[in-house]
Amino acid sequence: MTSAGTLSSFERRIAFALSIALAIIGFAMAAAAGKGVMAVHGAMALALGLFLVFRTGGALYDDAPGPERHDRYFDGPTRFGIVMTLVWAIVAMGVGVWVSALLYWPEGTTALPWTSFGRLRPVHTTGIIFGFGGNALIATSFYVLQRTARTRLADAISPWFVLIGFNLFCLWAVSGYLMGSTQSKEYAEAEWYADIWLVIVWVVYFTVYIRTLARRHEPHIYVANWYYMAFILIVAMLHIVNNLALPVRWNTADSFTIWAGVQDAMIQWWYGHNAVAFFLTSGFLGMLYYYLPVRSGRPIWSYRLSILSFWGIVFFYIWVGSHHLHYTALPYWVQTLGMTFSVMLLVPSWASAGNAIATLNGAWHKVRDDATLRFMFVAAVFYGLSTFEGSFLAIRPVNSLSHYTDWTVGHVHSGTLGWVAMIIFGAIYTMVPQLSGREAMAWPRAIEWHFWLAVGGTLVYVVAMWNAGITQGLMWRAYDENGALSYSFVQSVEAMAPYYLIRTIGGGMFLTGAIICALNCLATFRSAPYMAEPRDVPLKPQPAE
């Protein structure tokens, strides 16, 4: 992936030294732990470190000076990030389809502990949010940053460090769950040393972003960068506070969180909800605000509104975590606060969705003809729908019906399939031909297929879960004339069977589309002319109106 030609001799030495350091850290972890999860993770880091030592070591004594390509964007890390996005998409969606099938067909669970639903479910959630979503965010952020700042990334090592380090974190996390280790915090199940590692990776990410911005040749900081920076900065804050923990011993994976009781619950959902806000929304809005105007060839409908909704989203989102804890020991006023801010949040959310859709005004013929642009259009529509649904679910009496039911799961996937995954695919189909020096993807017809499989799969999934959730909610609160519950819990579980089957079919369609996308990208990258120069559509930031 990395060609030594793009690194200066100083950078090659740094890369080599970092690879050795990783191998040593891995060895030390494995040796100190001796056995168990941490030893396996140490061995993984050691293997990766040694692999990188050989990759970077070969280039050390390569006398030919690397071409000084300062006239060109540095896209190697972005290409690698796109490949990792697609790899994680297939693995984590594959596991999603499998755990969905297990809910319909629990007999499919074998006696091997790692095949159980409880271990595989976080492999799906972590693999898909961080592996698929995270790689897409990092890869696109480097791409967008360079083009909107009209400058090259500040150095050549940091972006590689960020991507490789981040993928090591994801690998540590999911392999840990398979071995039965977890911190028991949703979306933050990884062990303490993996959390510390992620902090290091994230600090490097933030610094390379800021250093590159500081070198920009464009006076204005385009709005997409604001959204990406909010993502980087606030995720760091959330991650550190939620994961504060004391290891039981320095050489095992076990730890205790420092928070206790209801404070722990509040910190967890302050984190959990803002993982939705700043991991699954803010960065993806950055993506939307760059790729949608570029692809449609139209400036953002209202640049001013995009900035206003930025501040609205950042300010309102941070308060709403308590809507995950309605009717709990959390003080009533804190629940009410979360509910109120959730409803207010609809305003900036719809401002963003509406701004994106209004941008397409005058380009509807392109939306009709270009499946790539259609991905982005559908993403904006689902962003609007899922935020409307979210604000509605946050209202306490509504939540009394929806909480614990599959309605939540339906809401989650209308956001993640309809919004997050669609905008990622739109961005990928825009970038991959450009990065390959081609006019278009290798198989343009396949994009059309992917589009319909993705839209169809999302609708099937989400409608099945709405039905499932509302059925569950109503069955649990049905009483007979004597005031006794009309249904036992098991009856409500049995009633779910058809919906779980339908959801599995919808998920299968979505996964098939993702596999088609990966093959299409592979074919496009492969058919690229040797040392392709990226074809760039320069994006001029549009001043307000």
Q: Which of residues 243-282 bind Cu ion (CB under 5 A)?
A: 273
Q: Which does 7 bind (CB under 5 to 8 A by kind): ligand HEM, Cu ion, none?
A: none
C-alpha count within 13 angstroms, C-beta hemisphere, residue 329: 7
Q: Which of 18, 235, 409, 441 binds ligand HEM (CB under 6 A)?
A: 409
Count, residues near ligand HEM per rule CB under 6 A? 46
Spatial CA neighbour of 41 closest among 52, 55, 31: 31
Q: Which does 129 bind (CB under 5 to 8 A by kind): ligand HEM, Cu ion, none?
A: ligand HEM
Quick one: 129 or 188, whose CB is closer to ligand HEM?
129
Longest dimension (CA), the chain: 88
Amino acid at 326: H
Q: Which of 136, 420, 516, 518 binds ligand HEM (CB under 6 A)?
A: 420
Quick one: 135 or 520, whose CB is closer to ligand HEM?
135
* Site for ligand HEM contains 421 (CB under 6 A): yes
Q: Work out how close the CB of 533 gets to Cu ion at its nearest, in angstroms, rounded to a whole number.
A: 44
Q: Which of 124, 295, 374, 450 binds ligand HEM (CB under 6 A)?
A: 124
Q: Which of 419, 466, 499, 525 binds ligand HEM (CB under 6 A)?
A: 419
In the beta sheet, which residues pair with residue 530?
none
Quick one: 272 or 293, whose CB is closer to Cu ion?
272
Q: In terms of C-beta density within 10 A (0-12 exposed, 13-18 middle, 19 or more buried), how is residue 503 classed?
A: buried
* Site for ligand HEM contains 186 (CB under 6 A): yes
Quick one: 12 or 121, whose CB is closer to ligand HEM?
121
* Site for ligand HEM contains 390 (CB under 6 A): yes
Q: Which does 412 bind (CB under 5 to 8 A by kind): Cu ion, ligand HEM, none?
A: ligand HEM
Cβ contacts of 397 within 8 Å, gap of 6 or more: none
Q: Work out how close the CB of 327 gets to Cu ion at its nearest, in angstroms, rounded to a whole number.
A: 15
Whether residue 413 is annotated as binding a ligand: the answer is: yes
- Written as six digits, the tokens of 395 are 């209202």
User: Which residue is associated with the tokens 């959330």?
Assistant: 238
- Written as six digits, the tokens of 450 are 């992917």
Which range of residues in 75-83, 199-207, 328-336, 389-397 is near ligand HEM by CB under 6 A? Answer: 389-397
* Site for ligand HEM contains 417 (CB under 6 A): yes
> How far is 296 from 292, CA to CA, in rounded Å?
6
534, 434 in Cβ contact below 8 A? Answer: yes
DSSP 84-107: HHHHHHHHHHHHHHHHHHHHH-GG
> How far is 122 from 189, CA to CA, in rounded Å?
8
Q: Which sign does the torsion angle of CA 221, 224, 226, 231 carry?
A: negative
- Written as six digits, the tokens of 228 are 């990406």
* Site for ligand HEM contains 181 (CB under 6 A): no
Q: Which of 148, 372, 399, 434 binds ligand HEM (CB under 6 A)?
A: 399
292, 328 in Cβ contact below 8 A? Answer: no
Whether residue 365 is annotated as binding a ligand: the answer is: no
Q: Residue length, the chain?
A: 545
Give the containing element (helix H, strand E) for 78.
helix 76-104
Q: Work out how close the CB of 152 gets to ligand HEM at its nearest, in angstroms, rounded to a whole number.
A: 30
DSSP 442-481: S-HHHHHHHHHHHHHHHHHHHHHHHHHHHHHHHHHT-B-T
Q: Which of residues 42-71 bind Cu ion (CB under 5 A)?
A: none
222, 307 in Cβ contact below 8 A? Answer: no
C-alpha count within 13 angstroms, C-beta hemisphere, residue 382: 28
Q: What angle do CA 267, 239, 251 make, to 5 degrees?
A: 105
Q: What angle do CA 158, 161, 162 make, to 5 degrees?
A: 85
Q: Which of residues 328-367 bind ligand HEM (CB under 6 A)?
A: 342, 345-346, 349
Quick one: 186 or 218, whose CB is closer to ligand HEM?
186
Quick one: 78 or 399, whose CB is closer to ligand HEM?
399
Cβ contacts of 217 within 8 Å, gap of 6 or more: 149, 150, 151
* Site for ligand HEM contains 507 (CB under 6 A): yes
Q: Determine phi and psi for 533, rounding to 5 degrees.
A: -85, 135
> What is the contact mask toward ligand HEM in residues 510 to 539, using x (rule: CB under 6 A)?
xx----------------------------
Which range of residues in 44-52, 147-155, 360-368, 410-418 is near ligand HEM by CB under 6 A? Answer: 410-418
Q: Which of residues 61-120 bind ligand HEM (CB under 6 A)?
A: 93, 96-97, 99-100
Q: Which of 48, 128, 145, 360 binds ligand HEM (CB under 6 A)?
A: 128
Whether residue 324 is annotated as binding a ligand: the answer is: yes
Q: Which of 276, 373, 453, 464 binds ligand HEM (CB under 6 A)?
A: 276
150, 218 in Cβ contact below 8 A? Answer: yes
Q: Work out how close the CB of 268 gets to Cu ion at its nearest, in angstroms, rounded to a whole number.
A: 12
Q: Work out how close the CB of 465 gets to ligand HEM at its nearest, in angstroms, rounded to a whole number.
A: 9
> How far is 345 from 360, CA to CA, in rounded Å?
24
CA distance to 71, 141, 362, 378, 516, per residue, from 368 (Å): 36, 28, 12, 12, 21
Whether residue 323 is annotated as binding a ligand: the answer is: yes
Q: Determine phi and psi for 253, rounding to 5 degrees.
A: -80, -15
> How far is 206 from 246, CA to CA, in rounded Å?
26
Quick one: 185 or 273, whose CB is closer to Cu ion?
273
Q: Which of 29, 123, 305, 394 binds ligand HEM (CB under 6 A)?
A: 394
Q: Which of 41, 119, 185, 413 binds ligand HEM (CB under 6 A)?
A: 413
- Indicate the annotated binding residues for Cu cation: 273, 323-324
- Indicate the annotated binding residues: 124, 273, 323-324, 411, 413
Interacting residue ranges for ligand HEM, rule: CB under 6 A: 93, 96-97, 99-100, 121, 124-125, 128-129, 133, 186, 272, 276, 280-281, 320, 323-324, 342, 345-346, 349, 386-387, 390-391, 393-394, 399, 402-403, 408-409, 411-413, 415-417, 419-421, 507, 510-511
